[in-house]
Amino acid sequence: MAAVDASGSNGKGQGVETSVTYYRLEEVAKRNSSKEIWLVIHGRVYDVTRFLNEHPGGEEVLLEQAGADASESFEDVGHSSDAREMLKQYYIGDVHPNDLKPEGGGKDPSKNNTCKREYWSGFLNSHPTLDDV
């Protein structure tokens, strides 16, 4: 866990100090039981322990996602704007930047050599070579 202060503006020309607490994914992963449930949703960490008994979908749903990134499951359900607003009260910090996946999930596409190889193979095969000219 790391806390970082960030300066911002309150819209009146005055600086506002805010503090963001960062959590490593390994720390979040430890919070995976009914005694303490943390979830990651879109890079933000939520302690939903107090919400366990109130969750309309049942506590099993939260326990299945406990200690992990629940972004996809959260979106698949199609939560209402009220549910999204309610989630804010359980926010405790952000995932540490070193643990964040690139947008779109998975690997960084710029490092995907298979994709590059397929592109160039297709390109070269569809164009004449010097021998063909």
Short-list 73, 57, 55, CA closest to 65: 73
Total-model pTM: 0.66
87/44 Cα distance (integer angstroms): 11
In this model, does residue 112 exceed pLDDT 50? no
Q: Which residues of 28-45 are buried (b: 16+ CB within 10 A; e: fewer)?
A: beebbeeeebbbbbeebb
* 64 contacts: CB under 8 Å, gap ≥ 6: 73
Question: Tokens for 1?
Answer: 């866990």
Give me 108's structure tokens.
């960084």
Residue 114 has pLDDT above 70, yes or no: no
